[in-house]
């Protein structure tokens, strides 16, 4: 089976590196499937789960936006934050989800709703990865 080298990188450093048979990601324009030999491109990503498949193994990584870049020999995902399932602190994500939900329910002018909405999305995305849902 053909494979392509993939790297997930954040401002804090590399998060994941592997040779995989397929990459699935949620681009702004919709679901993306990348196989080895894909034409070069750059696509902005949504807050979502990226799946890396090789053989019967699928690794999940939670990313908060960023970009996916396909080059002939390599796929790079550059994201503000990215975590593999093992690196996600479930209690922290649950607390972040609760906090964001409370902010969204508050009828106060000083709440930044867009910011709370994004925090909620990040928390739900992290929980989905730990629960193997996507």
Please identify, using beta-carbon distances, which residue of 51 and 97 lies nearer to ligand ATP: 97
Please identify, using beta-carbon distances, which residue of 71 and 92 lies nearer to ligand ATP: 92
Contact residues toward ligand ATP (CB under 6 A) are 12, 64, 81, 83, 87-89, 92-93, 96, 119, 122, 126
Q: How many helices (H) and strands (E) does the chain have?
A: 2, 10
Q: Name the phi and psi angles at 16, rounded to 5.
A: -155, 140
Please identify, using beta-carbon distances, which residue of 46 and 64 lies nearer to ligand ATP: 64
Residues in the chain: 134
CB of 44 to ligand ATP, least distance (A): 17
Residue from 25, 80, 94, 9 nearest 58 by CA: 25
């Amino acid at each position: 089976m053909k494979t392509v080298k993939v790297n997930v990188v954040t401002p804090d450093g590399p998060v994941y590196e592997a040779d995989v048979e397929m990459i699935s990601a949620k681009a702004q324009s919709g679901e993306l499937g990348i196989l080895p030999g894909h034409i070069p491109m750059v696509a902005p990503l949504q807050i979502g789960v990226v799946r890396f498949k090789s053989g019967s193994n699928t690794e999940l990584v939670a990313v908060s936006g960023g970009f996916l870049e396909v080059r002939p020999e390599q796929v790079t995902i550059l994201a503000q934050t990215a975590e593999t399932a093992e690196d996600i602190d479930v209690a922290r994500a649950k607390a972040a989800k609760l906090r964001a939900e409370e902010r969204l329910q508050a009828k106060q002018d000083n709440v930044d709703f867009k910011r709370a909405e994004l925090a909620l999305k990040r928390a739900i995305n992290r929980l989905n990865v730990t629960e193997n849902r996507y």
